[in-house]
């Protein structure tokens, strides 16, 4: 893809996930804010658009191994998200929460920001748990069934137009999670640790940054690839059913 100012951030990252690090460097939101064009996003933060376009195009020139998320079937992408990102949050989240809560308890008097970070992160995990459960129990099975209907593996008799409303709710919840991650990043001064930080302090902030990066990618895959394709597939099936 040749990058230009009128392409949305989400579509750029959807085409080549390797450019995500560039958007991260410039503080450009490619998951919840992925529907903004590069020009609009850069103007909002007073970023030199020509410089970032040059960096993005340089990455595109580099040959390297990458997961082509765009080419995955929707059922494959759903499985990937559950097995990779949902599992990651379920496994890494509680450990990271323990670390940051310990840091807040020990260092909170001198570093008040750790108390607020612990509070926000606890709230984030309490939001993500039910969110992922709704996806796994309701939305994702429906998307998997859409794929099966398209392939003729199951009857379309039970088809109902459904996907847009839950997707709208999921995206609203993604926005809330994204705002929490931005708050943690700001309060922690981009995950910077003080000179008196102990190993637990360092581990907590390292885990926070790693989890933030993973959740941002997770949201991007859903907002900018899975959800639009699911809506399009349902629209195609609706048209085919009513034309019969």
Tokens read off for 23: 């958007």
Segment 27-37, tens digit of pLDDT: 888 877 788 89
Overall pTM surpassing 0.75 (yes/no): yes
Could you give the dihedral angle defined by the CA atoms of residues 209, 91, 12 and 78, in that order, rounded to the nearest 10 degrees?
A: -170
- Evaluated on CA atoms 53, 57, 60, 63, the torsion sign reads negative
143 close to 159: Cβ distance less than 8 angstroms: no
The predicted pLDDT at position 148 comes to 92
Q: How confident is the model at residue 203 (pLDDT cuts 50, 70, 90)?
A: confident
Lowest mean per-residue pLDDT among 33-42, 95-104, 131-140: 33-42
Write out the two tokens for 174: 């993604």
């Amino acid at each position: 893809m040749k990058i230009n100012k009128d392409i949305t951030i989400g579509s750029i990252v959807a085409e080549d996930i390797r450019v995500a690090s560039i958007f991260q460097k410039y503080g450009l939101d490619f998951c919840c804010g992925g529907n903004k064009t590069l020009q609009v996003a850069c103007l909002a933060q007073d970023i030199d658009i020509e410089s970032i376009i040059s960096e993005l195009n340089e990455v595109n020139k580099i040959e390297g191994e990458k997961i082509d998320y765009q080419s995955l079937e929707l059922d494959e992408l759903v499985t990937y998200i559950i097995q990779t990102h949902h599992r990651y949050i379920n496994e890494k989240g509680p450990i990271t929460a323990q670390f940051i809560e310990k840091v807040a308890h020990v260092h909170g008097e001198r570093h008040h920001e750790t108390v607020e970070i612990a509070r926000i992160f606890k709230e984030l995990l309490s939001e993500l748990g039910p969110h992922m459960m709704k996806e796994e129990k309701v939305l994702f099975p429906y998307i998997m069934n859409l794929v099966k209907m398209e392939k003729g593996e199951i009857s379309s008799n039970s088809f109902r137009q459904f996907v847009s409303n839950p997707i709208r709710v999921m995206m609203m919840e993604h926005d809330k999670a994204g705002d929490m991650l931005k708050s943690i990043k700001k309060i922690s001064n981009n995950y910077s640790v003080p000179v008196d930080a102990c190993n637990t302090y360092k581990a907590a902030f390292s885990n926070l940054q790693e989890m933030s990066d993973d959740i941002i990618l997770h949201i991007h895959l859903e907002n900018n690839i899975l959800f639009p394709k699911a809506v399009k597939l349902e629209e195609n099936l609706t048209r085919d059913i009513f034309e019969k």
